[in-house]
Amino acid sequence: MIYARVAGTGSYLPGNPVTNDDLVARGIDTSDEWIVERTGIRSRYLAAPDVTSSQLAYEASVRAIEAAGCRPDDIDLIIVATSTPDFIFPSTATLLQARLGITNGSPAFDLQAVCAGFAYAISTAEKFIRSGGTRRALVVGAEVFSRILDWNDRGTCVLFGDGAGAVVLEASDAPGILASAIHADGRHNPILCVPGQVSRGEVIGDPFLRMDGQAVFKFAVKVLADVAREVPELGGVSLDQVDWLIPPQANTRIIQATGKRLGPSMDKVIATVSRHGNTSAASIPLALDEAVRDGRIQRGQKVILEGIGGGFAWGATLLQF
């Protein structure tokens, strides 16, 4: 049996933290009190105007490759989950491949599932490894969400941040990913979307993130609890045997409500949203890397990663670290 095992993790946050009070100072009609009470967010990182997703992805990837103890050219698959690519094309994954100096001709592609992007990407990479054709996959979530925020819409602009996280998955006889589940229900796409595009050199429609926050909240809590129960079942372990849950880092209240549905066995939750805001596809690997590097997640422990985003798309992975 070939497993896909996490060999190394890395992450990167651009610049300095931007606090809620900094947003108020920039003229946004909000307050630290409102943001903390409704979301738990205290600060986020915002990339400088010339910094792109592929640059953030590069910094996170270098750290993950170093932690995995391999060289860039040992990577034979790159998947970048992003909704804020550098360009319409080429893909951010091929830009990353070039920045890393990888010239071995291995595949590189982007995956678009918004905040569920990393859950989709790690599940996809696992299938490449299990099928025997891929030895080492670099799976990245990278976002500059600040570029698609309407800074006049206080209901959304305070929620998100920029960053990247990366994982090197390698083929192994020892257990790694034990189960994955990914889902989508396109009927819900109007409640969270960026309903615009570039056509004939012009922006058509609305190029900013729009969200019905309460509808997203209700939907997210239900399916995140369902999928966090589904993957242990698929992996043949009980929820009690899971050491850590890394939920999507969207809102402390969503994390708490999901934890409550799962019961006291899931009190070991890794949360970074208060310091990072919601970095969409980057949020899960950012949280994973932080908890690996600070020693909370130990080799042999079982971890559930889960994500949900526009579409709606959602998914989870159970892995033995």
Contact residues for ligand ACO, defined by CB under 6 A: 30, 34-35, 38-39, 115, 154-155, 158-159, 192, 211, 213-214, 216-217, 220, 248, 250-251, 254, 278, 308-309
Tokens of 217: 């909240």
Q: Nearest distance from residue 250's CB to ligand ACO, in Å?
A: 4
CA distance linking residue 217 with residue 222, whole number of Å: 9
Euclidean distance between CA atoms 46 and 9, whole angstroms: 22
- Least distance between ligand ACO and beta carbon 30 (Å): 3
Q: How far is the CB of 47 from ligand ACO (least distance, A)?
A: 18
Min CB(45)–ligand ACO separation in Å: 17
Nearer to ligand ACO, 119 or 167 (CB): 119
Nearer to ligand ACO (CB atom), residue 153 or residue 243: 153
For the CB of residue 33, give the shortest distance to ligand ACO in the complex, in Å.
9
The answer to whether the CB of 44 falls within 8 A of the CB of 74 is no
For residue 183, the tally of other CB atoms under 10 A from its CB is 18
Name which of 72 and 207 has its Cβ closer to ligand ACO. 207
Q: Closer to ligand ACO by CB, 96 or 149: give it.
A: 149
User: Partners of 17 in the beta sheet?
Assistant: 45
Whose Cβ is closer to ligand ACO: residue 18's or residue 250's? 250
> Measured at CB, which residue is nearest to ligand ACO?
213
Q: How far is the CB of 65 from ligand ACO (least distance, A)?
A: 27
Q: Of 253, 195, 246, whose CA–CA distance to 220 is shortest?
A: 253
Q: What are phi and psi of 106, to 5 degrees?
A: -75, 160
Q: Are 165 and 281 in contact (CB under 8 A)?
A: no
DSSP calls for 70-107? --GGG--EEEEE-SS-SSSSS-HHHHHHHHTT--S---
Nearer to ligand ACO, 13 or 254 (CB): 254
What does the DSSP 8-state code read for residue 137? E
